[in-house]
A and B are shown apart, each in its own frame.
Chain A
């Protein structure tokens, strides 16, 4: 058949389609061989395929006609045009088009089905087939996702090799050309199909909200949703959260009050690390479905773990805890406890702080009561008890937590610190070493280990642990920090040096040419939470450490090493460490404090005082600097000022035995013997239960 009018084409196509349908309706010829049966099936599919091809040609011709001719001149079939432009090509042909691949697949011929889908989709699109294309694209993506794995996937072959597309054949025109994107993997093809479907879906979305279009609206919404759901499956697999959140954002415009889409959008924002925005979207979700306990729980976690907006977090956690679904309520109480505990750290007033700490403990207890098997509740309970210096209880609970999850990093760390608080330092060290077997790349554990080794009297080992920290830092961050140079590169020279740290003279290594100190813009920013950096890193989420944080970590290693050297009375090395740290982070209270300590060691009290003062002005709650300054002032007989500093220190951290001890000494010196002895007693009591590293190095998070 050649040179037929478009109208004829349509009629012939419909004829084929109806023939196929009739054959399908007929009961298959009974009592025949499977071979006959198959023949019968082939015939049905054959008719549908013909019908489909013709229908597409018809549509393509129509489009051509429309662009060539002035609309009014084609009066003969203007009636049919207007109907097709509204209803596509009519239900008969539409069914026929979609039938052939489905039939193949239901007959178990998956690959031919996929082939048929591809045939249809590679045909050049015409105006009225868009909604059908969307369905076809989605269906093919579904088939690929649900029935094919990488092993069995065959990429679409090149169709350019097909017979020349003459004008007279009734083959539909296809997208050809070698410059076109041709998917090579299953997920690539799925993704391609889905983004096409998505763009069609969001175009076709019915935005009108009048009741008449309710049904079509619902239908188009469900169709679009199906596309977005598949897109989610593929993009999460490929971890493309940003792209996913952008796609879902487009879906919002036709998803008024649809919880599913809004919630998915919120989750995608969380994955893409856009926390503030995610929180806003979650609020919207809470409005749509106020009974869902997950929404406030998620918000609480965002506030507490990522955004440090504690008060808001507490509010969300309260809601989650009171919603009555057991497991989420338990986690809600955990969140609440974390919130109270974090807030307790910030509050200055002694009574308020105690109140918050009590509330936190109660919340953890409640969580544990509801959900006995939750290690997190037990761990946080233990941590809170440790901070309140209820060491035996804390030990019991952390051990229970470890029974529930034998390798919980923070519980292991806490257990080691608790052992050291009981002055069982050797056991604590064993514990840390065991934990390091499981988590060899955890900075926080290594810091504690080094400190413990120092306390146990083997400074050599402490130094070698320090070197391990440096090697680890280099392995993990060297590639990411290349874009920015800080410090003098002392770390590189140290880590490439085979000698142990005990033998190296740092001063010989450090760069004389101090003009080469690079200072970057970022470095001049004031530290926010230096001491929390090492501990807030979670090894399972390790890679997400910012550039700045990694530098902070290196500075922290230097400060720690400097402290070790100072303990060994090697002032020159300590000084080199501090200089290095200062060149990396010039405005850090820890570095300033360390500088001060070195000056104290060198008996240069005036400089030391300045350093401590600047540390305090950077971070007014830095306990160590307050104590250092107090001690210094006391040594210079400025007792009133010293007393003030130490009282500040005590009220910031009432568990610091050094602060109490120094305060006692000062009071003794001014003659307040009774209060002095009380302070000293407190110091002794506290000292007997204090760990080598403060319990606060262990982070309060949800994992």
Chain B
């Protein structure tokens, strides 16, 4: 008993990132009671994130903590740093002016849940951290206190509730067959081919697919993105998704799905469908955030491909895609929130905007072509890497399904050109009157420029990210 306690206390050192987030969340909540000044919450939020980042340790071997409930490795550390980097900018978003302390409390809770998702190694822990992330997300969706938000939040909540209930049921089946909750010890022995067990696996994996918005679990995405405050969307579209994919990979690995061809093929086909549905869905959107939401669904399909690739390069491609995807989303949602704060949410409102906002228009073009995946942006670099690894995937397994995946992915790029360019198209090619439009301020332009330059920079100097990645022993998930 005492030694167990000692172990736990000893393990807590590894958990400093998570602990400081949890403590910080509570501090901010208290701060909200004491200080009424909104700036204080923002400062507090930044301070908590930076503190957590400071306490993050890199370069260690993989460890199992608290029994074997949590698994820590460098990939997790890298992605946690990425989470902080993604989230810290939201205080600069023009739509973030009026958030109370609860908002930042929820935001930190979501980051905490996602950070734990990177490490969760136990069926029950997985369920708990998914719920932690989800509940924070549900509440954030409602944070605009508008009718539309409630509708979207309710949709999100119902979908999320049902899928986590099914996942829990799946987890109970897995527990029943293996007799353990730990992913490390998952062994189904002779019953491996039982249909009921397969059902359990499918349900459990489905619960995670919901978080990463893979078809057919993506239905909540457009309306949720549309109704949620844009600064929250920037985080919501990146952090839980990346965490979910890492978790998905661990589960696929633990359940040995790479050997179960029907399940692997199903997930592969879902990935192809995700790219297809996301792209086709986006074509007809007229609302800026819904359009980008469908685009984000398509990006999930690309990320899923990297997760499914069963060798080392898949991890590299995944890390690359995750980092650049985060950068692009921060940039694009910043621009969206800039325009949103001036009342522009529909694509056709952008008509003729170049007369007032030529510079930001140029940045929008660059960020959009990065989302499409054209040079000279890092969006191209990640597509190139991913396609390279997918070629290798085909070379190593020879499965026509992998070729289909590659082909659909490539074709989707052509379609994505069509919808991502809608906004630049309206801005530059259409004529319109924006009499009420007030120009963006210098500071806003500077921030937007920084985000855009980051997106470009990784194209011209990709070895920088690669060096960081190489110093970290992330070769195993």
Are A and B interaction partners? no
The chain B residues found within 8 Å of chain A, CB to CB, are none
